[in-house]
Structure 1
Amino acid sequence: MGFSILGVGQSALAAAQAGLATTAHNIANASTPGYSRQVVLQGSAGGQDFGYGFVGKGTQVADVRRVYDDLLTERVRAAQSSSSRLDAYYSQISQINNQFSDATTGLSPSLQDFFKGVQDLAANPNSNASRQSMLSSAEALASRFQSLNSQLQEVGDGINSQINATVGSINAYSTQIAQLNDEIEKAQAGLDGKTANDLLDQRDQAVNELSKQIKATVVKQGNSYNVFIGNGQPLVVGAKTFTLVAPKSTTDPSRLSVGIVVNGSTINIPETDLQGGSLGGLLEFRGKMLDVTQNALGRIAIGLGTAFNDQHALGQDQAGLPGGKFFNVGTPYVQPASTNRAATSSDPAAGIGAAITDASQLNNSNYRLQYSDSKYVITRMPENAVVYDDAAFPSTPNIIQGVTLSNTGGSMTSGDEFLIRPAATGAANFSVAVNDIARIAAAAPIRTASSTANSGTGSISAGSVNGPAPVNGNLQQPVTITFTSATTFDITGTGTGLPATGLSYTSGSDISYNGWTVQITGDPAANDSFSIGPNTGGVGDGRNAVALGKLQTANLLDGGTANVQGSYAQLVSLVGNKSHEVEVTRNAESTFLDQATTAQQAVSGVNLDEEATNLMRYQQAYQAAGKVMQAASSLFELLLDLTK
C-alpha cells in the first residue's frame, strides 16, 4: 500500500512539475511573435481493483497542446496581406501626390508663366526682351515637364529596388517554412498525435511574415504546409521550395518583373496574378497609377507641343521665314519582347512603327500587341481589354487612340509581342527646339489691305492662316478681291480654285483660299478692291503670337473637350483622390487587422495574469504532492519499525 501511495504522489508531483514548466514557458514567451500559449492535458491514471473497489493510481500527463484556432489564424493572414498591400501602395502614391499637388513645384505655375510670356510677346512682338522672356519661360516649362517625369522615374526605380528586396524576403521565408516542414515531420513521426508546439508556432509565424510580402494560400498535407501564390504557383511543397526571381521585363528593360524557377527555367508570372502583400501593392501601384500618371503627363506635353508647333508653323519670324518647330515632342515608345524571333540574313526581325496622328485623341493607357495563331491582338493595359483582334495587320488610322501603327520589319512569328506606350516619353522628351529669339514666329505671313481708291464702306480683316501645318504653298501668292457690284466679287491670283468669278458677297462671311481666311464687312461699292499678299517687313506684327496665346484655353486634349490646364488639374485630382481613397481603405484595413489579431490573441495569446494564477495553482499542487510523498515515506518507515 505504501508503494501505491508513493506512486500516486510521484505522478501528482510529475504532473505539477509539467504544469509549472509549461506555465513558465508561456510566461517566458509572452512577447515572442507568433507564440501560442500551451496547456497541459492531464488525465487520471486509472484505478486498481482491490476487491472492495477500485483505488486510484494517480494522474498522468496526456499531452502538452498549444491553444490554436485555424480560422482565426487564417483571418489574421488575410488581413495582414491586405493591409501590407495598401501600406505599400499608399507609401508610393503619397510621393507623387506631394509632387503634383504642390502649388509651387507642380506644372501649373510653369504653364501660367509660359503663356504670360506668349501674351507679352503678342503685345510687344518687336521687343527683344519680350522674345527672350518668352523663350526663357518655354525653357522653364520644358524643364518642369522633364523634372516631374524624372521624379516619376525615380519612383519607378525605387519600386525595382523594393521588388528585388521583397522577392529576396519571400524566398527566405519559403526556405524557412520548408525547413520547418521537414523538422516537424521528423519530430512528430511516431508520436501518435503529439505535436511539436514550438516548431508549429515558428512555421505559422513564418507564413504570417510571408503574407506581409505576398498573398499566400496554405494547404495542409500531413504535417506539412504547402504554400501557393498567384494563380496557384507552388512556392513550398513539403520540404521543397520554388525560387522567385526578379528578371527584367521582356518588353521593358527599365522595369523588373517577377518569375518563378521551375526545373531550371524561369516562368514569368503575370503582375495581375500577384496580389496582396507588399509585392502586390507595389505591382498594382506601378501598373494602375504610376504608368497612368506618367502617360497623362506625357499626353499633356505632347498635346501642348504638337498644337503649339502647328500654330507656330503658320506664323512668320523676324527674317520673314515661315515658323519652324518650336518644341521637340516625344514619340511613342515601342519595345519588342526579348523573346521575339531573332532576325536572319534573309528575314529581318518583326518590327512595329507607331506615329501620333491625332494628339487630341491620346489617352493614358499602354498597349500590348501580340501575334498568335495568325492573328494580331492589341490589348489595352492595365485593364487587359482587347481593342483589336484580326488576322490582318491594323491599317485603319487611330486603331489605338491617336496613334497609327505600321509593320516596319520582317514577318511575324507566333508568340511575338510588342509593348506600345504612346505617351510615356512625352514629358521626358519635351524640350525647346528654338534657340534664337529671331526665329520665334510671332507674325502672320500674310497682310491684307484695302485700296485707297475704294468708295464703299467695306473693310477687310487682318486675315488668319489655316492650320494645322504644313502651310499651303500658295499662302503668300498675291491675291486681289474686286467687287463687280455691291453683292458680287471676283478673285484673281494664283492658287487652287483661282481665279474665281461671280462670287456672292455676305458681310462677315469667311473667304478662304491658299491656306488663309479673311472676312469683309460693311458695304463695298462696285470696283472696290482688297488685297492679300506676303507680310514683308512685318517685324512688328504679333498676330500669330495672339493665336499662340489662345492655345492656353483651347481644348487640345480628350478629343477636343479639355485644355492643357484643365487636363493637368484633372491629373492632380486623379492622383489626390486615389491617394485619399487608398489612405481611407488602408486605415480601415489596419483596424480590421487589429481586430483580427485581438480575436486571435484572445484565444492563443499569453495572459500573464492567468499564467500567474496557474503558477500559484501548480505550485500548490506540487507542494501537496510533496506532502503525499512525505506521508507515504512516514508510513513506510513505520512499517519497517514494526518489523524490528
Structure 2
Amino acid sequence: MGNGIFGIGLSALNAAQQGLLVAGHNVSNAATPGYTRQQIVQSTSAAQATGGGFIGKGVQVDTVRRIYNELLVNQVTQARTESSQLDAYFTQMKQIDSLLADPSGRLGLAPALQEFFGSVQDVATSPSGIAYRQSMLSNAEVLVRRFQSLNDSLDEIRDGVNAQIENSVSLINTLAARISELNATISQAENNAGGQPANDLRDQRDELVTQLNDQVRAKVVEQSDGGYSIFIGTGQSLVVGSTAFELSTIASPVDPHRLEVAYVSGGNSIPVRESSLDGGKLGGLLQFRNEELDAARNGLGRVAIGLAVTFNDQHQLGQDIQENLGGDFFTVPDPSTTASTRNLGDAVIATEISDPGALTTSDYRLHYDGANYTFTRLNDGVTQTFAGFPQTVDGVRLSFASGAIAAGDEFLIRPTANGAGQIEVAIQDTSLIAAGAPIRTDAPTANTGTGRISAGTVDAPPPPDPDLREPVTFTFTSTTTFDVSGNGTGNPVGITFTPGSPISYNGWTVQITGSPQPGDTFSIGPNTDGAMDNRNALLLGALQSGNTLAGGTASYQSAYGQVVSLMGYKTRELEVTSAAQTALLSQAQALQQSESGVNLDEEAANLLRYQQAYQAASKVIQVATQMFDTLLDIAR
C-alpha cells in the first residue's frame, strides 16, 4: 500500500510540476510574436483490479498541446496579407498625390501652364514687344522644365518601387528557406520525441508563414508528416517539405527600366504573371506600378504631347517678325516602341502621333501570331486585329519600317510615356515667335457696295510658301457673282456669291458679308510690315481653354486635372480601405488571441492551482513515507 500511495503521489507531483513549467513558459512568452498558449493534457493512469474493486494508480501527462485554431489563424493571415498590400499601395499613392497636387505650386503643372499662357496673352497685347516675347520663351522653358521635373520624380518613384520589389523578393526567399529548414527540424524533433508535437518550433514556423504573407499571398498545405508545402501565384511551389525554391527579379524584355518577378526553375528564370502575385507588400507594389504609376506618367505625357502638337500646329499658321511662316515652337516627343528581347525576327515598327486629341493614357501591346497582328490596349484589354500596315489606332499611326517579323514577336508601344520627359522648347530667338498672320485682306474705299471682307484665317495644315501669300483679287461682276484672279487659284469666273459663306484659295479662308456691287474688288495678299499683327497670338492664347484633348472633351488644364483627380480619388479610396482593413485585422487578431493568446491573469491562476497541487502531492508522498516508517518500526 505504501508503494501504491507513493507512486500516486509521485505521478501527481510530476503532473503539477509539468503544469507549473508550462504555465511559466506561457508567462515568459506572453509578448513573443507568434507564440501560441500551451496546455498540458492529463489522463488517469490505468487502475489496478483488486478483489475490492479497481484502485487508481494516479495521473499521467499525455502531451503538451498548443491552443491552436487553424480557422482563426487563416483569417488573421489573410487579413494581414490584404492589409499589407493596401498599406504598400497607399504609401506609394501618397507620393504621387503629393507630387501632382502640390498646394504650394512649386511642383504642380497648373501654375506653369497658367503663367505660360498669360505670357502668350501679353504678346497678343503687344506683338512687337521684345520683353513680352522674351517672357513667353522664358515661361515656355519653365513649363517644359516642370514637365521634366514631374517626369523625373515619377522615375524616382519607379526606381524606388524596383528597389522595394527586389527587397521583397529577397525576403520571400529568406523566409522560404527558413520555413523549409524548420520543416526538417520539426520532423526530426517529433520523430525523436515519439510523435509528440514540437510546439515552439511549430509556432516559429507559423510566424514565418505570417511574415511571408506580409510579402505575398501564400497558400499553405500541411502534409501527412506535419510539414508545410507553400504555393504562390498560379501554383508555383515555394516550399515543399525540406526543399525551398526561389524567386528572382529580371528586367522586362520590353522595358529595361521595369523589373519583373520570375520563378527560378532548373536554372532558368520564368516570369510570373504579375496579376497572380496579389496580396502582401509585393502585390501592392506591382498593382500600384501597373495601375497608377503608369497612368500618372501617361496622363502627364498626354498633356505634354497634346500641348506640343496643337501649339505647333497653330504656330505654323502664323508669321514671325521676319515675315517667315512660323515653325515648331515645341519639340514633340516620339512614342516609345520597344521590341521584346525574345523576338525571333528583327522587324522595326515605326509609330508617330497622328491625332493628339485621340490619345489615351494607356500603353499597348502588339503581337504577331504568324498571320495577323493583335493590338491590345493594356488598361482595359480592348483588342484590334489586322493583317498589315499602316494602321491608325487611338491617335497613333503604326507602320512597318524594316526587317522581318516572326510568329510570336511582340512589341510594347507607349505613345505618351516619353511626353513629359522629352518635351523641349524648339526656338530661342524671340523674333521667331509667329504672333501675326501671314495674309492680309483689303477692301478699297472706292467700292460702292456695303461688302466687308474678314481678316481671313490660314487653313491647316499650312500650304507651302509662297502659294499662301500670292496676291488674289475678287472682282464682283454682279451682286451675286464674282471673278477670281491670282496665281494658284485657277482664275475662275462667275463664282456664285453667298454672303458670309467661306471662300478658300491657296490655303486660306475668308468671308465676305454685306452687299457688294458690280465693280467692287477685295484683295488678299502677303502681310508685309506686320510686326504689330496679333491675330495668330490670339489664336495661340485661345488654345488654353480649347478642348483639344481626350476626343475634344478636355483642355490642357482639365486633362491634367483629370490626372490629379484620379490620383487624389485613388489615394483617398486607399486611405479609407486601408483603415477599414486595419480594423478588420485588429478584430481577427483579437479573436485569435482570445483563444490562443496568453492571458496573464489566467496563467497566474494556473500557477497558483499547480502550486497547490504540487503541495498536496508532496503531502501524499509525506504520508506514504510515514506509513513506511511505521511499518519498519513494527518490524523492529
Query: TM-score scaled to structure 2, two decimals?
Result: 0.98
String of CA shifts for 1:351-387, please: whole Å, max 9, x gaps. Answer: 211111111100011111122353322222143x141
Equivalent position amino acid for 1:393 in 2:
G
Pairwise CA distance, 1:410? 2.0
Which of 526, 551, 554 is the matching residue for 1:559? 551
2:212 aligned partner: 210
String of CA shifts for 1:420-455, please: whole Å, max 9, x gaps. Answer: 101000010111001100011111100111123212
Q: 1:238 to 1:2 in 2, by over 3 A?
A: same
1:101 aligns with 2:98: no
In structure 1, C-alpha distance between the alignment counterparts of 2:626 and 2:313, rounded to whole Å: 114
1:412 aligns with 2:405: yes
Matches within 5 A, 1:503-522: 503-522=495-514
In structure 2, C-alpha distance between the alignment counterparts of 1:639 and 1:566, rounded to whole Å: 105
1:64 aligned partner: 64
Which of 476, 483, 488 is the matching residue for 1:490? 483
Q: 1:373 to 1:7 in 2, by over 3 A?
A: farther
Unaligned runs of 5+ residues in structure 2 are none
In structure 2, C-alpha distance between the alignment counterparts of 1:135 and 1:380, rounded to whole Å: 37
Equivalent position amino acid for 1:397 in 2:
T
What is the Cα-based RMSD across aligned positions, in Å? 1.3
| Residue aligned with 1:610, SS | helix
1:475 aligns with 2:468: yes
Pairwise CA distance, 1:270? 1.4
In structure 2, C-alpha distance between the alignment counterparts of 1:502 and 1:309, rounded to whole Å: 38
Preserved contact between residue 317 and residue 460 of structure 2 (Cα < 8 Å): yes
In structure 1, C-alpha distance between the alignment counterparts of 2:361 and 2:219, rounded to whole Å: 34
2:121 aligned partner: 119
Preserved contact between residue 482 and residue 529 of structure 1 (Cα < 8 Å): yes
1:366 aligned partner: 363
Q: 1:457 to 1:13 in 2, by over 3 A?
A: same
Which of 448, 458, 473 is the matching residue for 2:441? 448
1:277 aligns with 2:280: yes
1:525 aligns with 2:525: no
Pairwise CA distance, 1:468? 3.3
Which of 379, 384, 388 is the matching residue for 1:388? 384
Matches within 5 A, 1:106-185: 106-185=108-187
1:247 aligned partner: 250
Pairwise CA distance, 1:523? 2.0
Pairwise CA distance, 1:389? 3.0
Pairwise CA distance, 1:508? 2.0
In structure 2, C-alpha distance between the alignment counterparts of 1:258 and 1:164, rounded to whole Å: 9
Which of 356, 373, 376 is the matching residue for 2:373? 376
Pairwise CA distance, 1:199? 0.8
1:346 aligned partner: none
1:43 aligns with 2:36: no
Pairwise CA distance, 1:396? 3.2
String of CA shifts for 1:304-358, please: whole Å, max 9, x gaps. Answer: 110000010111111111111100111110111122226xxxxxx1221111111
2:588 aligned partner: 596
String of CA shifts for 1:171-196, please: whole Å, max 9, x gaps. Answer: 11111111111111112226555211
Preserved contact between residue 42 and residue 61 of structure 1 (Cα < 8 Å): yes
In structure 2, C-alpha distance between the alignment counterparts of 1:381 and 1:256, rounded to whole Å: 18
1:55 aligned partner: 55
1:350 aligns with 2:353: no
Preserved contact between residue 340 and residue 410 of structure 2 (Cα < 8 Å): yes
In structure 1, C-alpha distance between the alignment counterparts of 2:250 and 2:338, rounded to whole Å: 16
2:455 aligned partner: 462
1:502 aligns with 2:494: yes
String of CA shifts for 1:150-184, please: whole Å, max 9, x gaps. Answer: 11111101101100111111111111111111111
| Residue aligned with 2:488, SS | coil
1:432 aligns with 2:425: yes
Preserved contact between residue 253 and residue 341 of structure 2 (Cα < 8 Å): yes
Pairwise CA distance, 1:397? 2.4
Which of 622, 625, 631 is the matching residue for 1:630? 622
| Residue aligned with 1:253, SS | strand
2:82 aligned partner: 82
1:397 aligns with 2:392: yes
Equivalent position amino acid for 1:362 in 2:
L
Pairwise CA distance, 1:606? 0.4
Pairwise CA distance, 1:255? 1.4
Equivalent pairs counted in the alignment come to 633
Preserved contact between residue 390 and residue 400 of structure 2 (Cα < 8 Å): no
Equivalent position amino acid for 1:439 in 2:
L
Query: TM-score scaled to structure 1, two decimals?
Result: 0.96
In structure 2, C-alpha distance between the alignment counterparts of 1:65 and 1:141, rounded to whole Å: 69
Q: 1:458 to 1:375 in 2, by over 3 A?
A: closer
Pairwise CA distance, 1:393? 2.7
In structure 2, C-alpha distance between the alignment counterparts of 1:112 and 1:59, rounded to whole Å: 87
More displaced, 448-457 or 611-620? 448-457
| Residue aligned with 2:461, SS | coil
Pairwise CA distance, 1:459? 1.7
Which of 189, 206, 219 is the matching residue for 2:221? 219
| Residue aligned with 1:353, SS | strand
Pairwise CA distance, 1:41? 0.1
Pairwise CA distance, 1:504? 2.1
In structure 2, C-alpha distance between the alignment counterparts of 1:79 and 1:312, rounded to whole Å: 57
Preserved contact between residue 27 and residue 598 of structure 2 (Cα < 8 Å): yes
String of CA shifts for 1:505-559, please: whole Å, max 9, x gaps. Answer: 2222211111111111222221111110111121111111111111011111111
In structure 2, C-alpha distance between the alignment counterparts of 1:471 and 1:559, rounded to whole Å: 29
More displaced, 31-40 or 558-567? 558-567
1:309 aligned partner: 312
Pairwise CA distance, 1:297? 0.5
Equivalent position amino acid for 1:427 in 2:
A
Q: 1:289 to 1:470 in 2, by over 3 A?
A: farther
Following TM superposition, the consecutive aligned residue runs of length 4 or more in structure 1 with deviations greater than 3 angstroms are 190-193, 468-473
In structure 2, C-alpha distance between the alignment counterparts of 1:639 and 1:217, rounded to whole Å: 66
Pairwise CA distance, 1:499? 1.3
Unaligned runs of 5+ residues in structure 1 are 343-348
Preserved contact between residue 463 and residue 507 of structure 2 (Cα < 8 Å): no
1:187 aligns with 2:189: yes
Preserved contact between residue 313 and residue 470 of structure 1 (Cα < 8 Å): no
In structure 1, C-alpha distance between the alignment counterparts of 2:318 and 2:464, rounded to whole Å: 9
Preserved contact between residue 36 and residue 67 of structure 1 (Cα < 8 Å): yes
More displaced, 215-224 or 80-89? 215-224
1:261 aligns with 2:264: yes
Preserved contact between residue 462 and residue 507 of structure 2 (Cα < 8 Å): no
Q: Matched residues, percent identical?
A: 51
Equivalent position amino acid for 1:580 in 2:
R
Equivalent position amino acid for 2:585 in 1:
L
Q: 1:196 to 1:373 in 2, by over 3 A?
A: farther
Preserved contact between residue 448 and residue 461 of structure 1 (Cα < 8 Å): yes
Pairwise CA distance, 1:201? 0.5
Equivalent position amino acid for 1:419 in 2:
L
In structure 2, C-alpha distance between the alignment counterparts of 1:325 and 1:363, rounded to whole Å: 23
Preserved contact between residue 311 and residue 469 of structure 1 (Cα < 8 Å): no
Preserved contact between residue 391 and residue 399 of structure 2 (Cα < 8 Å): no
In structure 2, C-alpha distance between the alignment counterparts of 1:249 and 1:382, rounded to whole Å: 18
More displaced, 451-460 or 536-545? 451-460
